[in-house]
Chain A
């Protein structure tokens, strides 16, 4: 089954797939590609999408929208935002955000997102007539480690295998670049429902290279809605006759109360008016019967201008990090529904000194790009073997050193994967553990940056103070996530690392959610594991078929027979329901085909090094 691409958006989410060499979004029963990212809990039942969104005012205490804003954040950072959406936070939990829900246990943003992902996966199952393979899920480029991890956790809770987290502007560039096969330097301006990213990329001969990225993970169309809602509410109050009464002036009379359900209705009405204002010069914000007010485009633009202007600083920083001036950008690509707002287009045109191009649907382009990357990762893509995606880390990584100062070890905009190592020692005789605090951001002081996590190195051999040399390796992988490993250099002892993510879910939390999710969906655990085993086996078989077709000449005597024997046994097993057998045969096939696969890698690497003998290169590399 094909891999899928998922755009898990603040306001809307989409799923897409490459079929017959072309990416397309999968549609729901009514022909819509966008699934509103809204979830309503009704006892055991969960309603996802349009119905949940549109009926939010009547179910304010059990409906959640824009939860992407809360992913991977500390409860203390979220109180203001939660109040703006009218969500009640569970104050008994301090490690991660949890919302109270009418009529059931509290939920985390990860679980709410998992419901959206599950709904998209179900759509894929229906459209593709079977379980999809793995998924590429997009995240804002400016998402930090905790926000990325939270997205991966949500996929796991939803039972989706994540092949890669892909940055949204990069996904858009893939869709744009593969479509046009253009060469040049591009700026992707991505203003979604709740996040803003700007990425500068160079496209050349199948290479998509991100030069820099910047953004704000709490800036988007939601803020336009809120500004317009506040404006409309003030007008409604103002236009009420009683506003002129003596009692009101003295503060003795409240004309209208902004209850949670009216607040939700106001936000929905503001969004509808915002859409109208894209085309027209004026629109009505309609609340309930008799409560309405007119807003002109001028008023709307004045209200949102400060929000739009906040994107300018990030654009300038991205240009400066890429070492480019606006004049050196060949094209500006607009992504995200909020770029439909005329003021945004005008502002971008002014900022870059050129008209942005808008040939691709700004709502669908990210999902299409994700599907293309998912297809490329399948190893049997119809889109081309020569494509290479080089992305960057959005925020610098640093360590807390004496005096609460940050010592950067990986600068922002470094091409990933990227590694760095640091050597530490002990301060006390016989000390067997060392604490490290990793932060993200570019500020001098630790307190001004975001805490990523605390790492406790345990199991060091007891030695006099200052003698141990603990080398800690930090590696940021292709998903932009940090991995840490450590070793004491004198003894070679691997230190155990206990990671305490600053804001996030522990393994136990996720396991509990998985159990809840399975109970709730009434799916058999065994059934799910069997499906996972089949998907994995199909992936291995597909990769092998492709390798055999291309490089049969690299097979040794009798090797082809051995490989094909195991492969056909595995194919038979997939048709059955014995999970153990599928897993065992998958492993066997991996093992029996490993020398062949490695010969191909060796050949490719040797070719890449222009015929230089791999052994000679190895000797030079110090592998003697």
Chain B
């Protein structure tokens, strides 16, 4: 990266040579943006506290009487900070980011295995016989998947285990959550 103002190499958000506020990186790490260490077990209050601290310094409201270059940078930084906060406050987005490097699910996503889809098919059939049974199954599976994701990350944060299984569990979780959403939403 070189500074947009003086074209010297730059290492941080602010150019050491000329002091210009740099445009935020294209795919910023939300943890780095908010100055938090990379982990899944993160309290929303902790994210919020860091967010407010950073937002107070770089919000466009603080740059109204500055040159347009700085206004633009403040706008982009704040957008990046807002995005980082959204990712880190949502456990699913946070888990996905840690496992895949992106907070949003890939358009295709991991494909769900046949056994899982077979199971879902059976639930739907059972629902016709016994209305409400699908929701009961779905809630139980939701809890189970969330606990599993939690465990994977606990091991990972302790220095052991990989996150390879996370995308699949998130895809299943998304499917199950979809079943529980009222029709029409």
Contact = CB atoms under 8 A, between A and B. Distances in A.
Interface of A: 134, 163-164, 207, 376-379, 386, 388-390, 414-419, 475, 477-478, 539-540, 542-543, 590, 594-599, 601-602, 604-605, 607-610, 612-624
Interface string B26-69: 01110111010000000000000000111111111110111100
B13 A595 contact: no
A619 B25 CA distance: 11
A436 B86 CA distance: 27
List 6 A-B pairs, minimum CB-CB distance, nearest first: A598-B19, A618-B12, A620-B32, A602-B14, A609-B35, A614-B12
A617 B84 CA distance: 14
B60 A622 contact: no
Contact of B19 (A163, A376, A389, A599): A599
B25 A623 contact: yes
Contacts of B87: none
Contact of B35 (A207, A389, A617): A617
A618 B3 CA distance: 13
A419 B53 contact: no
B10 interface: yes
Nearest to A612: B35
Contact of A621 (B32, B62, B65): B32
B78 to A, nearest CB: 5
B21 A601 contact: yes
B154 interface: no
Interface string B61-99: 110111100100001101110110110000000000000
Contacts of A596: 19
Given A388-B59, A602-B19, A605-B57, A621 B79 contact: no
Contacts of B33: 621
A618 B18 contact: no
B97 to A, nearest CB: 14
A417 B53 contact: no
B14 A622 contact: no
B65 A618 contact: no
B57 A601 contact: yes
B11 A615 contact: yes
Contact of B13 (A164, A543, A607, A623): A623
Nearest to B27: A622
B60 A163 contact: no
Nearest to A390: B55
B61 A417 contact: no
B79 A386 contact: no
Given A418-B82, A477-B75, A598 B32 contact: no
B170 interface: no
A379 B65 contact: yes
Contacts of A475: 75-76, 79
Contacts of B64: 134, 163-164, 377-379
B20 to A, nearest CB: 6
